[in-house]
Each structure stands twice: as structure tokens, then as C-alpha cells.
Structure 1
Amino acid sequence: MEEPDVESLPRGGFRCRLCHVTAANKPSLDDHLRGKKHQRLENLRALRQAQELRSVFVSGFHKGTPASELSEYFQKVSHPTGGKGKREVLEEVLAQPQHSLGGQKLRVKPRERKEFRYSPPKKQGATRWEQLTPEKLAQTLLQADDVDAQMAQLVRLVEFSEGERRLRHLLVTLFQEVFSEFFPACAVLPFGSSVNGFDVHGCDLDLFLDLEKTKTFQASARGVGLPQCRALAPVPFPVCQAEEEEAGPEPDAHSEDSILSDIDLALATVPEVLELVATVLRKCVPGVHNVQAVPSARRPVVKFCHKESGLRGDISIDNRLALCNTRFLQLCTEADERVRPLIYTVRYWAQQQALAGNPFGGGPLLNNYALTLLVLFFFQTRSPPLLATAARLRELAGRCFTVVDGWDCTFPRDSARLEASGNTETLCSLLSEFFRTFGDYDFAGTVISLREGQALPVPSFLLSEAGTRLKLGPFNLQDPFELSHNVAANVNEKTALRFQRCCCEAAKYCRSLQYQRKSSKGKSWGLGRLLQPGALEAREPGAAHCHITIPLALAALPAHSRQQLCQQEQTTAKSKQSLDQKPTAQAPHGSEGPLDKPRKEQMPAGFEGLPDPGTGKPSPAHEEQPTASSKRPLDHREGDAVSPACKRLKAEGALPPLGDSVTWSCAVWHRVWLGRRRMRRQLRSPEPHPEQEASSLELEEKVSEAIALQEEGGEPSRTEPVLRFTACAQPGGANQQDTRTSLLLSPASEQTGLFQDFAHFLQGFLPRMVERYLGSAA
């Protein structure tokens, strides 16, 4: 039965109109409909509708007439009896032609029925981009004259207002005054989005509490008896000088009421200092609540919320590198006026495409800092460059060296020392080129370095001293100063691939006249279409191909490993996903002979032979050349009721020359991409062995076989596969440093819907399996 509150979305999703919740698939939708939130809103809607049925609209009475007087009047008019219901009373009131109260003629009519609308409770403080809805943005951007003007308008819409800037300044001043009372000579320094030039409505207030001078003060006080800082327990708030004199002398260095008498900052652990800072915030800073120390974060912080404004923030005690990064971003905004508009646009675009914008940190999405560095790297690689590399900035700084936490953070503090750029590209052109550049970028096989201003191949990067400590992953973006920090290390394969696909779609749109020229008919154009949620993906819902990039390619491996990788790609694509042939039923116990027999007589024409590496055309069937989808019979050992754990397929065909492509015709006989996680849990041992990771390929093969047998047990034997497609593999290119192999999958024309589900599974599964195979073989 169809739910009236549910609407279908492109790509198989659903949206609940009642709760404003989006579900990715039908099981998720069913869970939501059974959930407490949906049930509560349904009951609330029913209650409101019942109230509408037994209510009337009344007007014309004197201003200030109490509700009790109106209620008493209508009770007399209706002459209620014991057996009369509310609906009957309502009809009786409406049937009377005239009503009057206190000499005033009343106008009584049925209550207007309105559609129930759920308004979620407003959060304290706006989150990132929350105040700017896509509809409001689209209407505003229609009025601009060109794309450059639209970007400037976007910046004005999302940046701080003068009131927000003043509020943050006052809060920083308040924190400085309070903490100075308890930590003499300390400094409260803002960093991050509030001051780096990329402020957005409602962004967090990031503060750094510098206690270095306080440590020196404490050491001196203990050595020569200098006055200590304010006592915490007896003084709930900072007091003026006159109040200090009446309260008596300040506690000395050994007073049990002094903060610093209980803890030595030079020897204290980070959790101890964080708890001390949290105590000051809770007891001594007016208007601050929800204080929580988080010592387990990458940069330990104390989180807080300002009650009146709803502004959230955090205070860190060991984050000097963040101050350098903030000043570096400020320098970039001062170097070229095109930096801010382009970064704001890319950030908003990524948030609308669900590629970034995780407000609570963590997760597989890109953060704003990573997106900002990606745009700065793009500026560094333009010809001529708009921004200088970090290495070049170090040269421009001269002899003024800056080292923070062991990292070289040297760059000019004055933008006047920067070199002028000869690049004259417009913002419209730069945005289009940004999407084109990263639409086909080897994020997994290279490391983006803002220090060098180039993408370094992973093999050569690992040989350098700086590359030994960097955490590599599907998206490698090195911090310009903390060289061991991959700012996109949290991004997974799925998000990295989606980022590339979205960049490709955006690049296609930016080549159209709808992006470049203003619409004379008042239609959405330029950024108005680009920045709408999922607008470009919905343009081609039935994509007829799938592109998979395998990071470690033949060209990046030693000669003896190239053949193994080529064979493994064929093995993974065939045996692990059952692409080659339909598995046969389980043989009875004790039977002799192979479990799987060659099914050449049932093979479709496309399986008759391998393609010729030189031409890409299939070889003639009568030559009986081993096909790319053929399987040799498995050896059956006596007493085995199932096939061996590892099926070793032989790629008997000649390997294509490096740089040539090879094409296979493939068939999928079972939906092995469904239920893999549940089946994997059933097959995995409850106590994993140390060798579990090395045998993950065998485990995945067992999962595929179990799903195939389970599916085949409930239906008659198939004579046709559920899906047919072709796969074309192409090494990365002529460049020997290129670390990619491209696999292009194209379905049969009538099977695009089923193919999308299968391709979505392969995009994350296939590169991971190849990586595990190479890791186990190393």
C-alpha cells in the first residue's frame, strides 16, 4: 500500500513529506515509518485535524473579551444535552443565522482547514549555510549580470554580518578577561573560520588558550614567592580591584584555594589541564553552558555553547599549528581577490552535493579545510599561477624562520612581499577549470602537496623522508606545514569517487551556454543551476556506463608484479563476483569428478574468445582460444562437500602490451551484491585469526558462492544471466608514474537499472580487493 506522505526520489531514494526526512532505500524508509518521530507526528496531525472538525472561527467581539466569556456564550447557544456530541453541537452553532455578544454582532463560520506542516525546533545558533536556502539563493542569483557577480553575491550572503563580528570580538574579550584572572599572562587567540577570511554564518568559534607565559609565571611564583592567580572556589566571577582589597590578601603560591597550587602546568597532562579549563568555563564565564572536555580528539579541546546567541565553540591548549594555518589562509586571501569567491562557491557546491559539510566532525566527507586547500592547490597549478607555493613563500620570507612543533612554518606575514600574479582568468573560467581538473584526478595514486605545488606519485613520495608518516588513503591531501597530516584521511573510496563524478557533471554543465550566459527568460542560469542539490546528477539518471579507477596500476609496479596484477584484476572481476558462469549445485558427499564443469555449449557468443590486444576485437570462436571468462575445472578432494576455499583462475591468454586496452564480455548469473554483509558475518569465525586479513579474498569468494547457492535454492535453474555487460581495462597512460588502471563497464541497453546497483557495488569493492591482494603479496 502506498504511503501518502512518501514521495519517490531519483536514484531509488524516498522522502517523507511529513517529517522532512530522506531515506536511501525501502528498508530505511520502512524503519523511519515505524519510528517514534513519524508515529508522533502522525498522532499530532490527527489531533490537529480533529480539533479543526470541532472548532469554529469567531470575529466581531470587543477587543479584550476573555475566552471564558465566549465559551460560556456558545455553551448557552448550543443547549447541550447529555447525548449530544461535539460534532452535533458545532453544526447547531453554525445553523443559527445570527450571533451577538455584548451588543456586538458576531461573525461565525467554519474553521479553515490547513495542511499540517511540521516545523522542526530551531537549534540554538545557525549551522553552516543554514540561513541560506537553495530557493532563496536561486532567486538572488537571478538578478546578477554574470557568473563573477553571482560569486560575489554568494560571498555577501554567507559571510559574517557586522553584528556577528562584534559578538565574536566581545566573547573573545570576555574569555581573555576571565582566563587572565586565573591564568596570569595567558592569551586567548581566535583561529579558524572566524578570522581566516572564510567566515560563514553560524560557524564555530575556535579559540587557542596559550599558557606558555603562564607556565613561566608559575615557575617564578614558586621560586621567589610572587603573588599567585585568582582562587577558584571562593570567587565565582571576576571581581574589580576594590573588591579584591576588601576580600583580603591574595593566596600565595602554596594556598590550597589557588588553581595553580593544585597543578603544575609544566608537568600536568593534557586531560588535567582541559578539565581545569572546563571548570573555569562552567563556574566563572557568564552565559556559557554545555561545557564538555574532549581529550580524545586529534586536537584535544573543551567544547562550549554561548546561551544567549547559541554560538558554539571550542578551546584548545595545544594547537599552535592552527594559528599558522589561519595566518597562511589570510595571506592567500590578501594575495588575490579571486581566492575568496571561488572557495566559497566550491564549499557551497560540495555541501549541496552531500560531499562535505559534516557539522560534528569525523565521517567520510570532506571538511572545509580540505576543500580550501584543494582550491589553493588549483590556484598554484594554473599557468601562470595565481598563488605561490609554500616552498616559494619560505624563500620570500628571507631569514625570518618560524618553527612550530618541529615543522617549518616560515612564510611572509606581510602580503606586500608577495609577487604579483600575471594570471587574468575570470572567476567564471576558473570554476569551470577547477571541475575539469579534478573530474579525472588520481587522488589515491598521488599526494597533493601545497608545499611543492604539484601532485607527487605515491611510489616516489613514499621514498622521501616526509612520506613515511603520512596516512595514505583514497584521497591524499597534505597539509602545507604539518607534512605528516593528510587533511582528507577520513574520506573513503565512495566519497572520493562521488567527488570525481560530481566534478565531471559540473564540468559538463560549465561548458554549456546555460552556465556562461544570463537567461533572458528568467530561468535558472550560471550558479543558480549548479548550486541546487543534486540538480546535475538528476539530469542523466540512466547513465549507460560505469568508470572504476584502480589506484595501483601496472606502470607503477615492478616488472615481475605486473603480470600478477593483471591476473588478479581478471580473477577479482570473474570469480569474486561470479561474472564468468552460473555456479552449479553442490555435489553430493563422496561424489567423484569436478564440482563445476565447463559450460562452453551454454556460453553466449560474446564469451567465445579473448579480444585481440592489438585490435580490441574478439578472436574467432573456432580457434578455441581460452576466453577471459572461462574457468578450469576445480579439483575435488574426497570427502569435501563444497568447493575449495581459493579458486585459482589461470589467465591463459596473452597479456596485452602496457598501454593497450583489453575488453571482456561478461555475464552476471546471481545478484551477489545483495546481502553480502549479513552473509559475511555468518561465514566469518566468531574469533578471528591473525591470518583473517590475508584470507579476505577467499572469504569474499565464499560469500559470493553462498549467496549464489541461496538464491538458486528458491527458484528453478536459470537459462539466462540476470545481467550482461562489457568491461574494458586500460592502464593509466604513457606516463610511467601514473598509478591508475581504468575499468569502463557498459551494460546492455535494456538493463541499465539493474546495472546501476551492480556498478555501485563494484566501485567500492573492486579497488579494495585489488589493494588487499597486493598488500598480501608484498
Structure 2
Amino acid sequence: MEADANIKVTPKGFLCILCNVNLPNLPSLEQHVKGRKHKTLSTVKETRKAQEEHSVFVSGIKPQISQTDITEYFQKFGQVSDVIMDKAKGVFAIVQFTDADSTQATLSCLEHRMSGLKLRVKPREKKDFKLIPKKTGSENLQQSLDRLKPQLCQLASVDAQMQHVVERFQLGENEKKTRELLVSSCKRFSWSFFQTARFCHSVFQARAKSTTEQAGEGMSDDGRSEDSILSDIDLSTSSPTEVLELVATILRRCVPSVHKVHVVGSARLPVVKFHHQELNLQGDITINNRLAVRNTRFLQLYSGVEDRLRPLVYTIRYWAKQKQLAGNPSGSGPLLNNYALTLLIIYFLQNCDPPVLLTVDQLKDMACEEEECVIEGWDCTFPSQPIAVPPSKNTQNLCTLLFGFFTFYANFDFAGSVISVRKGRALPITDFLSQNKSEEAMHEEKPTKTQPHGPKLGPLILLDPFELSHNVAGNLNERSHRSFQRECQDADKYCRSLQFQHKSLKGKPWGLVRLFTPQGGAPRDKTEQLTISIPFKLASLPETLRNELHHAGDGFRLLWFQKVCSAVEGVFKNVLRCNIAPSTDVAFGQDSAVDAAGEMETSLNTSTNDSFDSKDAAVVGAKRRLSSGSDAAVSPQGKKPRMTKTQKPELPHWICAQKHMVWAGRRKVRRELIKDTDCRPEGSCMEMEAQVTDRIIEKEPGLKETLEFKVQPQMVGETESTKTVLTMEPTSDQTGVFQDLFHFLEVFLPKMVETLLEKEAGSA
């Protein structure tokens, strides 16, 4: 390995100064140096070093000096690649050349005069490149809670705590004025360039006109005419992304204190993001997003109709942020956005008994003729004033409604439902499974304009109130969705305790304080380590299988579970070449797959019936009901005895036997088989993976003792994400290799099952 200045030898091995990583031995070091992180940081370090060598620091300038003026002056010493100005104070700049000779020529000049100013030029300061570790999310979340905790603990009730959260996090008068100042600043530049532009709720809207109509006669801050900025763009034919690129250019050059400007053109609705340094505000600008404006007014109507909505939204948003379920600062990724979280709250309030909020369709019927509104073909009609909506008959307090929210979603059937705030009820997922049935699936919510496709399918499907083809939670993945429901279940359990409702007389944290406490990732226990989950992923299902599930109606879970079991058996038998024997007295096939699913559903229903009823959410702090009836097994104290092992039915399972370590070295064998052809991802081809197994069996010696293990499939559904859970247990592992096999199967098996489902659908 070539010498690397970033690597230092230590008594315990090696230290990579660049990545701040300790490495125990030479093989680990070689693997690390070849890794993407080390290569990326090495490239960044070299780029920064070259930029410093090719740059000079210039001071003595005035705020009226533009970037163009500086570029034109220093161009005589060599080609200028970039000029970085201090726009906040306008007193210094960094001039970067394309080569080091230009830098030396600039520094060798004894005097620099420009526009009557004497400039001071010196070499750019060289700084050591250092990877600054980011603060962990748990540290920031705990600090946020520590600032809030003293006030919350002193309050007398959970309702008072929720009101305090609103007062703490809502915008104050100074913050409102600051935002108005930023909007006014953006208005000034927009009207100069886009004479028909209109700002609405921080959404930039511009109707494209010809260049001559939109170009102003004044000069921009950098001395260039506005027409020169617009001269290469025909706004009448430009795409939204191209117009936003222009907006980004204007922000960088013309608006003081704005930096970190970038265009997110890949978003569903392209947007310009920026940061105002002086006001310390983040901003977004998009164009012609009339639906977003309508959504904002819709939420304002709900807030005006129901006073309990704002405290609930503020409290649940902060809870979700503390649990790292929402509040992603970058505005992207697999976390819940605040709008989706608000719609989940509204949907829960629509389903209270009696309802706290009316559905969108009910609001539409209350609107007068002048309030009718259709945007891009979608019906966006609702009353403009809260006074037109009758008050709710629901009298539950904030504490009870918060508890009810967690209970409602802790047991919600996300896998089988499409949440419709417009209807105020869950639509069956089977109506959305087939792409060919998308128009039929949405016949109840058919807009004026025919849409080409339905909503994006995912683990959580939450329809926009107006744009019914948009899944507001479409960015969520399986892991984020499971985290949300698991946190709801934990919160539901905590809200049943006395520590939630009653203030501690000893000054201990209570109420919202304990609810908001961030939790670190707990290590998985041994039982969980021996299970492999294959989730029900709507988006990855082939169209043929979607059609089958669509026709299966309410029984789609059993049909999908049966398909997965068949695929799992195919992986073990035909891909990994295991010898498979079904459990005693049970022929594992289609019927036993259904039996396993049925038994699993029976056990789930039993546990659900014994658990806390959703109607009991009105009694905060209430404990679980004791089972009642004439069951002879009930003890005199009214408690059920623990179920013995003999009472629990044995679910169907496989007994697998493997004589070779077919999981070891698979990638190397795959590369040898594929050679110069395109390398397909592992698990993407059944035939290839079977050949890899055969090559390993042919070349490598077998195990001294046959590895035997039990695989027991179960279907989990209804009250949480539908998934097939494979519980694995070694029955004979004298060589101690079962854990290695299990870790391989954790990743390999779900991928292969997905591949086999696609293959079966394609051959059908």
C-alpha cells in the first residue's frame, strides 16, 4: 500500500486522521483506504488545498464594489475562476485563480488600486482540513427538552402543559416582523424582474411574460443591468426549474445577506432553498403552487373552527421531533413532514366520537356558490370563514385527545388502509393495488380533471385533501413507518399510567416531560435477533400479483402470505440447496400457509380483545380491563393465569439441513461467473444465485457436521404493518456457524423473495 500522510501508526494499530477512525490491523486499513468515505474526503482535502494555493485575500473594498468589478480588475493577472465576497459587510473578498502562477503574479504586484480604492492583497490563510463530527441527534433533542422541562414540571395539568408548548414554539411578534421583513425584501427584487409576480404565504408565484415586458430599466446591486440577467431566458417557454434557476441567480447577486442558495429541481414541486444570514431564517421559493396556498387556508379554517387543534398539533409535532419521526431539517428523506403529521391529527379528530372536526366533503357542502374553487382540476371548495362551520359537540379535553391520538394509531391498520381526510374514513387498500384499477379505485373521489395515475403506494398512504393522486406520506419507508407506530404504541402505554395525568408531588418529571424524552436505540434482544421480517411492500409488487390481491378483497393478506411462504421455501430448496422437511404431521404447502396465517390472526385478535379498548381512551390513566366471563381458568383474583407451553399451538414450520457454507464468499464467486458482463445486484436473479451455490458446493469442502435449523413463518397484520416474520432456531449446530448463516439470510432472503415473486408473476 502506498504511503498515506493521513495514516498514523499507533500502539494499537493505525489511525486515519482524515476520517478520525482507529483501525486494528493492516487488512482493515487497506479496506478503509479503498472505501468511499476516505476517497471522498481525500479528494475534498486536495481540492481545498489547491483552492487555497490559487487564491488571494483582498481587503479595503467598499460595499458598493460589485463582484464584477473585482473580477474585471484581477483578470489582468490571470484567469479568475471565482470571487467570494462578504455580502453582509462588503469589506473583503477572496479571489480564486485557475492556476498558481496567477496567484504569484498578483502577490508580486506592490500596489493595487481600483475605483479610487487602495486594496490590500495577501495570501489566503491556509487551514488544516479537519472532519468536524456532527452533534448527535439525541444530544440536541435532550438539550431542547432540558430548556423546556422546568416550566412544564411546574404546571398543574397536561392541558396547561400543552398550552405552554404552543406559547413556547409559536411565532412571537418580533419573529413575525422578521419574516415580514424577509418577504418584503424578496418582493422588491421580484417586482423588479417579474412585474406580475405575487407573494402569497411565502410562496413565490410568477406568470411568465416576454423578456422585454419583465426586464426593468434599473441596475442590480452588482452593477449589471437586470436585462442582462434575463437576456438568455425566454420565460414564456421556460420550465419551472429553469425559472427557479433564474430566481436563485437573482437571490445570490441582488439580495443582501442571502447565502446557501440552491435549487432542488428533483423534488415533486421544484423549489429554491436559501438562508438569510442576518435574520437567521431559512426560506423556500416555488412558483405557481396554488394548491399549497389553498392547503394553507384550509388548515387556517380548521384552526379557526376548533381551538383544540393548535395545541394538539404543536404538542404532537414536538413529540415526533423528539422521537426523530419528523422535523428533518433538510426537508427531505424518509421522515414524516409536518403537513403529513397535521393531516394525521385531523383524520384522528374526524374519527372521534362525536367528531371534533368535519370532513372535507362536509365542509364543501357548507360553502356558498361564491366560495367554489377548482385548481388544476381538483375541487378545493370550503367555507372561507370559520363562522360558517357549526361547533363540535365533542367536549373532551386536550389531555384525553392526546391520549386518544396515540391509541388510535397504535392499533391502526396502515397496511390495509388508504387514509382519506376528504372522506374522513379509510379506503380499502385493495382498490389501489392494481394500476389498471386506479380510476375505478378513486371513483368516489373523482376530480373534475381526469388524473393519469393514483397515489404513490407505500407503507403509509395518506391522501392530500384536494390533490387526490398525491400521497402526502409517500416518502416514508418501512423502517420510518414502523418507528412511528412503535412510538405511538409506547406513548399509548405511557398515557395509561398515573405519571402521565397526575403531577408528581416529589418534583419528578411527569406529563409531557416524560412523553417528550428522547430514547436512544436499544440493542436488540436475542429473540429479535433470530427473526427475519419480510414486509408487505406495495410499491415493489408486480402488477400481476397486485391484480390477484385486488380480486382477493379482504383476504389479500392470506394470499400474499401464501405467496411469500412458497417463495421462502423456493429460496432454501432451489437456491441454497437445503434439504427441507416439513414439521411433523403437517404438510407445509398452500393450505398450511393459510393455517399458519389463520392461527397467527387468531392469536392477534385474542391479544387485541384482551387489550385496552379504543373507547376507553376517554378515561386517561385507566388501567386495562380484567377479562370477565365464565372461563374456569380465571383465578379468584380475576386475572388470567399464564398460558403454558402445552396450551400454545405449534405453528407449521420447516426443518432445514445444510451441509455446505453456501453463504461464505458468494460475491467473489458471482464476480467470477459474471466476469465481464454487467454485474447484477445480489439476489436479483434466481438462476445466477443457484449457480453460485453450486460452484461453492463443488469447490469448497462441506461442514464436518450438518447444520440443522427450524424456520417458522408467521403473518403479522391488522394492527400493525403486514409482514411475514420468519423465526429461526438452530436444532443442531455443533460447528457454531448458524449465526453467520442467519446474518447472511437477514439481507439475502427478503431480496430473493421479492425476486421470486416477480418471476412467478411474470410466468403467470
TM-score, normalization by structure 1: 0.60
Q: 1:167 aligns with which of 168, 173, 178?
A: 178
Comparing 566-575 and 339-348, the one that deviates more: 566-575
- Counterparts of 1:539 and 1:512, CA distance in 2: 25
Q: Which residue of 1 aligns with 2:374?
A: 403
Distance 1:524 1:568, change over 3 A: same
Partner letter of residue 206 of structure 2? L
Name the SS for the 1:168 alignment partner.
Answer: helix
Equivalent position of 2:565 in the other structure: 570
Report if the CA contact (8 A) 2:596-2:713 is conserved: no
Q: Percent identity?
A: 37
Is structure 2 residue 686 aligned with structure 1 residue 698?
yes
Shift of 1:581: 12
Residues 333, 772 of structure 1: alpha-carbon distance in 2 compared, 3 angstrom cutoff: farther
- Letter aligned with residue 342 of structure 1: L
CA deviation after TM superposition for structure 1 residue 282, in Å: 2.7
Please give the secondary structure, in 2, of the residue aligned with 1:472: coil
Distance 1:545 1:443 in 2: 25
Say if 2:429 is the partner of 1:458: yes
CA RMSD between the two structures: 5.3
The C-alpha deviation readout for 1:270-304, integer Å capped at 9, x for no partner, is 34422332333233322223333444432222232
For residues 712-734 of structure 1, the C-alpha deviation after alignment (integer angstroms, 9 at most, x for no partner) is 9588334454x65643347859x
Question: Does residue 1:507 correspond to 2:483, yes or no?
Answer: no
Q: CA distance change for structure 1 residues 558 and 541 in 2, over 3 Å: closer, same or farther?
A: closer
- Deviates most, 765-774 or 150-159: 765-774
1:167 is displaced (CA, Å) by 0.7
Cα distance, 1:257 vs structure 2:
4.0
- Following the alignment from structure 1 to structure 2, what is the Cα–Cα distance between the partners of residues 529 and 708? 54
Given the alignment, which residue of 507, 527, 551 partners 2:512? Answer: 527
Q: Residues 458-481 of structure 1, C-alpha deviation per residue, up to 9 Å, x if partnerless?
A: 222432355833221222111111
| Aligned residues of 1:475 and 1:491 also touching (Cα < 8 A) | yes
1:607 to 580, 583, 593: 583
Aligned twin of 1:155: 166
Structure 2 CA distance for partners of 1:688 and 1:182, relative to 1, 3 Å:
same
* CA deviation map 1:388-409 (0-9, x unaligned): 1111111111212112222211
CA apart distance, 1:456:
0.8
Report if the CA contact (8 A) 1:445-1:551 is conserved: no
- 1:470 partner letter: P
Render the CA deviation track for 1:168-193: whole Å, top value 9, x for unaligned: 01111222233223333432223xxx
* Post-superposition offset of 1:121: 8.8
Q: What aligned pairs does 1:342-361 form with structure 2 within 5 A after superposition?
A: 342-361=312-331
Secondary structure of 2:259 counterpart: strand
Does 1:419 find its partner at 2:390? yes
CA 1:432 to 1:683, structure 2 compared with 1: closer, same or farther past 3 Å?
farther
Q: Call closer, same or farther: CA 1:563–1:527 in 2, change over 3 Å.
A: closer
Which amino acid in the other structure matches residue 663 of structure 1? Answer: L
Q: Is the 8 A contact 2:552 2:559 kept in 1?
A: no
| 1:133 CA drift (Å) | 1.9
Structure 1 pair 688–457 and aligned structure 2 pair: CA distance change class (3 A):
farther
Letter in 2 for 1:348: Y
In structure 2, the partner of 1:231 is 217
Q: Is the 8 A contact 2:304 2:386 kept in 1?
A: yes
1:385–1:770 distance in 2 versus 1, CA, 3 Å:
farther
Q: Secondary structure at the match of 2:292?
A: helix
- Partners of 1:541 and 1:148 lie apart in 2 by 41
Indicate the residue corresponding to 1:617 in structure 2: none
CA contact (8 A) 1:401 1:410 kept: yes
Q: Distance in 1 between matches of 2:174 and 2:142?
A: 15
1:373 aligns with one of 335, 343, 357: 343
CA distance in 2, matches of 1:173, 1:720: 72
Write the distance in 1 (CA, Å) between the matches of 2:222 and 2:522: 55
Q: For the residues of structure 2 that align with 1:703 and 1:152, how far apart are their CA atoms?
A: 64
Alpha-carbon distance in 2 for matches of 1:160, 1:707: 66
Larger Rg: 1
User: Superposition pairs for residues 485-496 of structure 1, below 5 Å?
Assistant: 485-496=470-481
- Mapped to 2, the partners of 1:473 and 1:509 lie a distance apart of 29
Deviation digits for residues 327-346 of structure 1, max 9, x if unmatched? 11122222222222222232
Whole-angstrom CA distance in 1 between matches of 2:741 and 2:325? 24
SS in 1 for 2:154: coil
Whether contact under 8 Å (2:716, 2:724) holds in the other structure is: yes
- Kept in 1, the 8 Å contact 2:198–2:206? The answer is yes
Q: Give the Cα separation in 1 of the matches to 2:300 and 2:197.
A: 24
User: 2:670–2:692: 8 Å Cα contact kept in structure 1?
Assistant: no
The answer for the alignment partner of 1:211 in structure 2 is 206
1:716 aligns with 2:703: yes
Uncovered stretches (5+) of structure 2, i.e. residues with no partner: 1-9, 13-19, 22-27, 43-130, 433-437, 539-545, 601-649
Cα deviation code 1:510-554 (max 9, x no counterpart)? 222233333333333332222222269679896699686647899
Residue-by-residue CA offset, 1:81-111 (whole Å, 9 max, x unaligned): xxxxxxxxxxxxxxxxxxxxxxxxxxxxxxx
Query: For 1:428 and 1:686, how far apart are their aligned partners in 2?
Result: 64
Shift of 1:706: 7.4
2:686 maps to a residue whose letter is E
Encode CA deviations 1:704-757: one digit per residue, 9 max, x unaligned: 9479969x9588334454x65643347859xxxxx9866455666999999997
Q: 1:529 to 1:177 in 2, by over 3 A?
A: same
Q: Deviations over 1:488-523 (max 9, x none)?
A: 222222222332223223222222223333333333
Q: Distance in 2 between matches of 1:720 and 1:188?
A: 69
| Residue 497 of structure 1, aligned match among 463, 466, 482 | 482
Look up the SS of the partner of 1:664 in the other structure: coil
SS at match of 2:418: strand
CA shift at 1:436, angstroms? 2.4
AA matched with 2:714? C
2:251 aligned with 1:281: yes
Task: From the superposition, tell whether residues 362 and 288 of structure 1 become closer, same or farther in structure 2 (CA, over 3 Å).
Answer: closer
Report how far residue 323 of structure 1 moved: 0.6
How many pairs does the alignment contain? 571
Q: Deviations over 1:683-718 (max 9, x none)?
A: 7787569xx9999472696499479969x9588334
Letter in 2 for 1:665: H
Aligned partners of 2:389 and 2:499: how far apart in 1? 37
Change (3 A) 1:663 1:316: same
Separation in 1, partners of 2:353, 2:376: 34
Residue 30 of structure 1, CA deviation = 8.5
Contact 1:582/1:669 (<8 A) preserved? no
2:465 is the counterpart of 1:480: yes
